[in-house]
A and B are shown apart, each in its own frame.
Chain A
């Protein structure tokens, strides 16, 4: 008789009617899971440097546990060796000793408090590990492709046996801590995947050779763990369906499917279908990859094994997983980043409140932070990693109710507006445009997935409506209007200004503004110079290059995309190259002539660039209205690009912080 931990009845919820396949139970091993939702194990660097669970980590997970509405909620992967070769993140939780059990129990309890199924993942980071020690360990000492990772040492047979035992011991601790389901991580370059891959396993003993040999260590881990966990505790594994390592002679798709079959034979109760490695040259999860791009791999996996298949990877909205589960091509919808951006995402789906979801924009800032030893943060969710801080997570009603004028209905202004209104203030948002969204109205036209950024404004609009924010669109705020209204506080969220070029020829009719180009209002010639090498300039350059124009990007920053996070920047560099965009960084425009411009490098070299259009995409803070507000003695806040031109994330975070403190 399979075990049920918590009973859930979704029949009265609208989401269960819209997405019936997401909210029906599934049996995994001898355990019944009430729905098909899984928050997958996610590192967040919120634990102590010694591997102990912290308040921040527990609060972070508790919030996600609420989100899965009775489904699977996994804590992050734990490392299992005292030597810390398996530790891949400075704030990764540990399970190499019994002393960690109380902390792990805290997490299991937090998940159970939300009536969800608690999962623990065993994760030796292998090739991607050794974050705080000199060498990483793996089946073979294959040099690292990326320098940020440690040099590798080949494991002896004794060390392999010890590593297997560490998995077994950690599994026992997971059971003791009260988890309901267990998972082995074998993805993206972690130790299990190192054994499985022909790229990193060059051994000639019983732990190497063909795919069966390369799976031997995995088989022993699976069997060892199975032997010590209860019969009603399912064991799963995350394995690559495609490594995307063809360029370095990694596994073929056939070998990957063979690894699934071998794992199933060894006794796993489900398989989480993944793809790609940290070292792969192919993008997998960034915004430029269309949603649902990889879902066919789940279908392929199901054709090879009988155990349930779960999958994440650009499945940000419920429609597709619901459809695929209904079609028998997927069993469980996994999420990581969508629930970083909105921990209650599936709960909102169930409750029929999809318009209240703050959608992930697939920027990968979360990953970029982890690899730089920083705590998790989210580009779009200011509360992420502050769940334990009541000021962030649960802003209290304002002590004094104020009348607040917010100038600018872009992401910074809107974020501030709904939160301030929710806290009891009377909020009036003004914008000279007739529509909300600020500069995102134009920025979303940039190619490679930037239309997804607009989900931020859609979310904020709903939040503002719910909070009772008053909008005055098509109204330009002037000194007179401020004098007339005399609000208690003014928040300037006007966005940046795009200053002209104070150089000879700076009044040329070749010059057009970024917003006019991105909205299609400006006439743009065939040869274009975009002035400003941050994200707006890059987006504009790509937008124009896609129209067949020859584009040159010129900017003051030393490298293009200073405001783009490193996990995404490399994509832009590739797209710029593919679209023939030449970038001159660390440069200024010295003069404009009939033929084009003269560029001057930081060290004084000058050369001409022919062009018929110059797009101004270089931004500066917007100081207008500041003095007018201050001269009236009104409390003043400046947020977003009006304060310092940065990115969407900074706008949202600025807006939130002022909204919770005003």
Chain B
């Protein structure tokens, strides 16, 4: 029986998007559980930021086997930037890593982010989405910085609240 390429690709495409959709929804379902257990005296943003730290820390550890200084500082920063952009892409975003004007400076840009849509569905503020992304990336860099003995920082430069336009983060080395 010959392969119907259109049918196979469509099935794969649907499965991929369903899986990506579940990533976001599962996160917000667990967020709800965490807030119920945390009680009324806890700010939801604090819980979400703590979760971002835990995620980031764990993701950072998975980065370490691939860290490589052999291509020098610029090569290293670009590989790291691409790995961070890759996290967004895995979730369904359209993200890139671009070299900045300053040495070792990388801009991570996301032009399509599914997280605000999921957040809206669960009644979560857009501000929380942006701050959690920033905190998660900062936590990723904690172990990377210590491992490579390079002080690294990442900051949110621009966030578009509804997931439209472009979100920009700046990755750089501090002295």
Residues on A close to B: CB < 8 A?
A: 141-147, 202, 246-249, 281, 504, 590-591, 593, 598, 605-608
Q: Tell me if B67 and A248 are in contact (CB < 8 A).
A: yes
Chain B residues with CB under 8 A of A593: 2
Q: Mark B1-40, 1 if CB is under 8 A from A, else 0.
A: 1110100100110000000000000000000000000000
Counting from the closest, the 6 A-B pairs by CB-CB distance are A143-B143, A247-B68, A145-B64, A143-B147, A608-B3, A247-B70
Chain A contacts of B69 at CB under 8 A?
Answer: 246-249
Q: Are A248 and B148 in contact (CB under 8 A)?
A: yes
Q: How far apart are A311's CB and chain B's nearest CB, in angstroms? A: 26
Let me know if B3 and A606 touch, CB within 8 A: yes
| Residues of A contacting B70 in the complex (Cβ-Cβ under 8 angstroms) | 246-247
Q: Complex formed: what's the CA distance from A606 to B12 in Å?
A: 10
Q: Which of B51-107 contact A (CB under 8 A)?
A: 60-61, 64-65, 67-70
**In chain A, what residue has the closest Cβ to B143?**
A143
Chain A nearest CB, measured from B91 CB (Å): 22
Chain B interface residues toward A at CB < 8 A: 1-3, 5, 8, 11-12, 60-61, 64-65, 67-70, 143, 146-149
Closest to B7 in A: A606
CB of B1 within 8 A of CB of A143, answer no
For the complex, give the distance between the alpha carbons of A607 and B1 in Å: 11
A605 contact set on B, CB distance < 8 A: 8, 11-12
12 contacts between A and B (CB under 8 A): A141-B146, A142-B146, A143-B61, A143-B143, A202-B149, A247-B69, A248-B67, A248-B147, A598-B2, A605-B8, A605-B12, A607-B3
Count: A-B pairs, CB below 8 Å: 51
B65 touches A143 (CB 8 A): no
B172 CB, nearest partner CB in chain A, Å:
19
Question: Are A146 and B65 closer than 8 Å at their CB atoms?
Answer: yes
Q: Collect the chain A residues with CB atoms within 8 Å of residue B67's CB.
A: 145, 247-248
- Is the beta-carbon distance between B149 and A249 smaller than 8 angstroms? yes
> In whole angstroms, what is the CA distance A605 to B69 when docked?
40
Question: Are A147 and B68 in contact, CB atoms less than 8 angstroms apart?
Answer: no
Closest to A599 in B: B3
State A207–B1 Cα separation when bound (angstroms).
70
Known: A247-B70, A605-B12. 20 other contacts (CB 8 A): A141-B146, A142-B149, A143-B64, A143-B147, A145-B64, A145-B65, A145-B67, A246-B70, A247-B67, A247-B69, A248-B147, A249-B69, A281-B68, A504-B1, A590-B1, A598-B2, A598-B3, A605-B11, A606-B3, A608-B3
Q: Which residues of chain B have C-beta atoms less than 8 A from A147's C-beta?
A: 61
What residues on B are CB-neighbors of A144 within 8 Å? 61, 64
**Chain B residues in 8 Å Cβ range of A143:** 60-61, 64, 143, 146-147
Give A249 to B12 CA distance when docked, in angstroms.
42
Specify the chain A residue showing the minimal Cβ separation from B144: A143
Determine how close the nearest CB of chain A comes to the CB of B63; give it in whole angstroms.
Answer: 10
CB-based contact B8/A607 at 8 Å: yes
Nearest residue, chain A, Cβ from B57: A143
Distance in angstroms between the alpha carbons of A246 and B76 in the assembled complex: 13
Bound complex: CA A229 to CA B79 (Å): 51
Give Cα A248–Cα B67 distance, bound, in whole angstroms.
7
Identity of the chain A residue whose Cβ is nearest the Cβ of B150 in the assembled complex? A249
Enumerate chain B residues within 8 angstroms of A246, measured Cβ to Cβ. 69-70
A249 to B8, CA, bound (A): 46
